[in-house]
Every structure is written in structure tokens, then in C-alpha cells.
């Protein structure tokens, strides 16, 4: 174990922060980034290309009242859950730079493997979503120029996977993104502004829209439960400790600043595109909003290319815990350009992305995978586990009302997780019957 030696930013921080906080062994960068860079990482994630689907995957199943109330409630609950998780980062005098390290500190070594398994599923499913969306954006770009019959979705997903592999090989770790975060912000603004402007134009010129929730009552129950999983998926990364690991000391205070940045300024674009998209097209809103908009060819092409490129950067963020695990396990140190390190990244990261790309092309049902990801891992990691870990770690410092509140969160989100998992698997099974594998949806 080595000691954190980065100096706190102010005199007050020196008094508040203990310089002997231990940092676990890792080959990736720790304590190198400002809170603002961490805030941009979180904002990049929340305004990723997934926002192009929220009008269709959240608002359409829930309607105006359910969608608006659900998003606002999910915002408050997600901020609370992420803040209590951030406050546990230095529990026991150690910086817990991985979610599984924190779970092991609180529950014991058995929790290490269980938490790592849940987190891996979460990140793997999110990356499948990015590959599907990147492929959809590329296909939509070809469709703008009437090449959709030639470039099917599975081919576009394969191209996206190849591009992600090249980026993963050339970008060794999360802190190395730096300039790419600025590029990601610009790319996000391009497709969000284009989608908002074109959707608003269509909405102004369109006849009255249908905002009713369609489907038989039995089907609507499952789609509503699935949409609730999409709600929490929209705000949470499932890898907060890994992002917090990059933040300079005092890590807790700086991460709280980054979270406030994410949940204020960072949410404005997401809310704008979600509500404008649904207002413009109602129940007919596509699961990929740029498929619904009309406008100049070059503008739509630019938005789709931006979405394609941004999905590559975002996938790298969510794949970084897996990359860190592989690099640390096999002792990949030193220059990223060393021949051995380069060969390892090609083999390890390339293999991971080949498997991810194959699964994405095999079952490209985006909304269903968002729901399943929220059900299987976002609910447990962000809400159930975070609240229970806080209960265990701070049990002697919490009032009765605080304990009851955290237990309430644990029980309610456990029930929602089970219900959402069943609903998501059912929707995937139905879509699998409707479409063949490697479908061009």
C-alpha cells in the first residue's frame, strides 16, 4: 500500500484532511484530477448519446405526469444516494478507489466478488447500449443519404466496436481523457442542440399530438416498471468510487462539488432534450430521437456523426474499471507506448470489445437493455447497497429517523429491482420473438 501525497488545495483542507490516508495498489492514475474534471466526467455520462432515447424510453411509457414527476424524484434520490456513497470513500483511513474495495471494507471479502460481479454486469450492459446507440447513429447518418439498405444496423455496430477498440488502445486510463472530455462536451452539445431545435420546429408545425399511454393494461404494467428502471439508469454511473479515485484531496469535498455540478448544470441539456422530444412527437417518439426529426440533410448528418463519436468516448469511461482491473492484475506499468503494454491493450481490451460488439449486434433492443441494466445493477449498486453500506458504516452516528429512512430506501428499491428485472426480461423475450437475431431495427 502507498500513501496519498497530493497536497490539499487550501489551508482549511490541510486541517480537515488526513495525509496518511492509504491508497490501494493500482497501475492507473489516482488523485490527479480537479473536481471540475470529475464533474465533466459525470456530466459527459449523464448527457451521453443515451439522452437521445429518453423521450421514447421514459416519457412514452410514463406520459407527462409520470415522466416529469419520475425524473424529478429520480434526480433527488440519485443525488442523495451518490452523496452518501461519496462520503464513504475514505472509510477506515483508506481511499476506496473501487466499489468492490469499499464493499469488502464494510462487509468482508465475500462482498468483494459479489459487488464486482454486479458492477461488471452494469458496465457491460451500459457498454452494449453505447455500441447499439453508436451503431444506430451511424446507420441514421447513412439513411440521411439513402444508404440504409446497404449499411444494416449490425454492420454499423461492428464499425462502432472497431472504433471503440482503437480509442481504448490509444487511451490508457480514465485520467488520460482530459482533452477528450472537452471534445465530448462539444459533441454532446451538437446533437442535443440539433435535436432540440429540429424537434421544436416539427412540434410547432405539427397537428395535435397523442400523449396517451398505449397498450393493454397487462403490457402497460411491464412497460411502466421498465421505464422506472430507465429513470434511475439516466442519472447514475454505477462506478462513482472509480471516478472519485481520480479526484485530488480532499477527495470527499471535491467529489461533492462534482456531484452538485452534475445534478445542476449537467442536467439542463438532458431535461431539455427529453421534454422537447416528447412534446414534439408524443406517443410516436422514436427510441432514437434523431430518427424522428426532419430538417436539412447536413444538419442531421452532423448530429448523427457527433452522437457516434461521443458514444466512443463515453464507452471508454464505463469500460475503464474493467481496463483498470486487467492492467493492475497483469502489472501493466510504465509508458503506454511500450510494446508490451500496447500489445496487452490490443489483446485484452480488443477481446472485451469484440464480445461486447457481438452481443450488441445479436440483440439490438436498446430500451430493453436500458431497463435490464437499471434493474440488475443500478438499483442494487446505487440505491440498495449505498444506503445499506451507510447504515452499517455509520450505525452509531445515525438517529432513528435517519436509520428508518435508509432502511426504507433499501426495501423499496429491492422490490423495484426484482419487479424491473422480471419486466425487462419479459420485454426482451417478446422483442426476441418479434425480431430475428442480428436484426436491422
pLDDT at 8: 44
Task: Check: CB of residue 43 under 8 Å from CB of residue 263.
Answer: no
What is d(CA 221, CA 215) in angstroms, rounded to the nearest whole number?
9
**CA-CA distances (angstroms) from residue 420 to 8, 94, 260, 410?**
43, 35, 28, 15
- Return the pLDDT at 13: 45
> Interior CA angle at 256 toward 253 and 258, to 5°?
115
Cell output for 97: 478507489
C-alpha closest to that of 15 among 253, 325, 185: 253
| Contact status, residue 439 vs residue 135, Cβ threshold 8 Å | no
Question: 380 is written with which cell numbers?
Answer: 442494487
- What distance in Å separates the CA atoms of residue 406 and residue 326, rounded to the nearest whole number? 34
The architecture that CATH gives domain 35-207+216-434 is Up-down Bundle (1.20)
8 Å CB contact between 207 and 344 = no
DSSP conformational letter for 7 = P
Give dist(CA 169, CA 172) in Å, integer.
7
Burial 242-274 (b: 16+ CB within 10 A, else e): bbbbbbbbbbbbbbbbbbebbbeebbebbebbb
Average pLDDT per block of 10 residues along the chain, 441 residues long: 40 43 61 87 89 92 94 93 92 85 88 86 85 90 77 90 93 80 90 96 92 83 81 81 88 94 94 96 90 91 94 90 85 75 89 92 67 74 90 89 93 89 77 62 58
- pLDDT for position 15: 41
Distance CA 52, CA 386 (A): 28
Radius of gyration, CA atoms only, the chain:
21
Q: For 336, list phi and psi in degrees, rounded to 5.
A: -65, -15
Looking at residue 110, its pLDDT comes to 83
This prediction's pTM: 0.83
Per the CB < 8 A criterion, the answer to whether 121 and 377 are in contact is yes
Closest listed residue to residue 31, CA positions, set 298, 352, 255, 265: 255
Q: Is residue 21 a contact partner of residue 1, using CB atoms and an 8 Å limit? A: no
Chain position carrying cell 472537452:
182
**Per-residue pLDDT, 273:** 96
Report d(CA 303, CA 283) in Å as an integer: 23
Residue in the block written with cell 447536413: 298
State the DSSP code for 21: -
Q: Can you tell me which residue has the cell 439522452? A: 51
Element (H, E) at 182: helix 179-205
DSSP codes of every residue in 207-257: PPP--PPPS-HHHHHHHHHHHHHHHHHHH--S-HHHHHTTBPSSHHHHHHH
Residue-level pLDDT at 416? 86
Model pLDDT for residues 71-89, shown as the tens digit of each residue: 999 999 999 999 999 999 8
Q: Are strands 2-3 and 22-23 parallel, antiparallel or unpaired?
A: antiparallel
Give per-residue pLDDT as tens, 88-97. 988 888 888 8
Angle at 413 between CA 409 and CA 415, to 5 degrees: 125
Q: Give me the pLDDT at residue 26, please.
A: 65
Residue 278, C-alpha cell as written in the block: 416528447
Instruction: Report CA dihedral (373, 374, 377, 382) to the nearest 10 degrees.
Output: 150
Alpha helices by DSSP H, listed for 330-440, are 339-362, 366-373, 385-393, 400-434
Q: Which residues pair with 135 in a beta bridge?
A: none
Q: Are 263 and 279 contacting, i.e. CB atoms less than 8 angstroms apart?
A: no
What pLDDT digit, counting tens, does each position of 188-211 carry?
999 999 999 999 999 999 899 999
Amino acid at each position: 500500500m502507498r500513501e496519498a501525497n497530493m497536497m490539499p488545495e487550501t489551508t482549511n483542507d490541510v486541517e480537515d484532511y488526513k495525509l496518511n490516508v492509504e491508497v490501494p495498489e493500482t497501475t492507473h492514475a489516482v488523485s490527479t484530477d480537479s473536481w471540475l474534471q470529475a464533474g465533466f466526467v459525470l456530466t459527459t455520462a449523464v448527457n451521453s448519446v443515451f439522452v437521445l432515447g429518453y423521450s421514447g424510453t421514459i416519457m412514452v411509457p410514463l406520459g407527462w405526469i409520470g415522466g416529469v414527476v419520475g425524473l424529478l424524484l429520480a434526480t433527488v434520490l440519485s443525488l442523495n444516494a451518490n452523496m452518501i456513497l461519496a462520503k464513504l470513500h475514505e472509510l477506515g483511513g483508506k481511499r476506496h478507489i473501487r466499489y468492490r474495495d469499499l464493499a469488502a471494507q464494510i462487509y468482508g471479502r465475500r462482498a468483494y466478488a459479489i459487488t464486482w460481479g454486479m458492477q461488471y454486469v452494469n458496465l457491460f450492459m451500459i457498454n452494449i447500449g453505447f455500441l447499439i446507440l453508436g451503431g444506430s447513429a451511424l446507420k441514421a447518418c447513412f439513411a440521411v443519404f439513402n444508404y440504409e439498405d446497404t449499411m444494416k444496423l449490425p454492420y454499423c455496430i461492428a464499425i462502432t466496436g472497431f472504433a471503440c477498440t482503437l480509442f481504448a488502445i490509444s487511451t490508457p486510463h480514465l485520467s488520460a481523457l482530459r482533452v477528450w472530455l472537452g471534445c465530448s462536451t462539444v459533441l454532446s452539445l451538437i446533437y442535443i442542440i440539433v435535436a432540440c431545435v429540429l424537434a421544436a420546429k416539427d412540434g410547432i408545425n405539427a397537428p395535435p399530438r397523442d400523449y396517451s399511454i398505449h397498450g393493454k393494461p397487462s403490457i402497460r404494467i411491464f412497460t411502466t416498471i421498465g421505464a422506472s428502471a430507465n429513470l434511475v439508469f439516466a442519472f447514475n454511473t454505477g462506478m462513482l468510487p472509480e471516478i472519485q479515485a481520480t479526484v485530488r484531496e480532499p477527495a470527499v469535498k471535491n467529489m461533492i462539488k462534482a456531484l452538485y455540478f452534475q445534478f445542476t448544470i449537467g442536467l439542463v441539456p438532458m431535461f431539455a432534450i427529453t421534454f422537447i422530444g416528447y412534446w414534439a412527437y408524443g406517443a410516436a417518439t422514436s427510441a432514437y430521437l434523431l430518427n424522428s426529426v426532419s430538417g436539412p440533410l447536413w444538419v442531421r448528418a452532423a448530429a448523427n456523426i457527433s452522437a457516434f463519436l461521443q458514444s466512443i468516448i463515453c464507452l471508454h469511461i464505463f469500460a475503464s474499471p474493467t481496463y483498470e482491473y486487467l492492467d493492475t492484475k497483469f502489472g501493466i506499468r510504465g509508458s503506454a507506448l511500450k510494446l508490451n503494454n500496447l500489445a496487452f491493450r490490443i489483446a485484452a481490451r480488443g477481446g472485451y470489445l469484440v464480445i461486447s460488439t457481438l452481443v450488441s449486434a445479436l440483440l439490438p433492443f436498446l430500451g430493453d437493455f436500458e431497463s435490464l441494466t437499471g434493474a440488475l445493477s443500478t438499483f442494487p449498486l446505487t440505491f440498495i447497497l449505498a444506503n445499506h453500506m451507510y447504515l452499517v458504516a455509520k450505525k452509531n452516528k445515525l438517529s432513528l429517523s435517519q436509520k428508518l429512512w435508509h432502511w426504507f430506501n433499501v426495501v423499496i428499491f429491492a422490490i423495484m429491482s426484482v419487479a424491473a428485472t422480471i419486466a425487462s426480461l419479459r420485454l426482451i423475450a417478446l422483442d426476441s420473438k418479434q425480431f430475428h437475431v442480428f436484426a436491422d431495427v
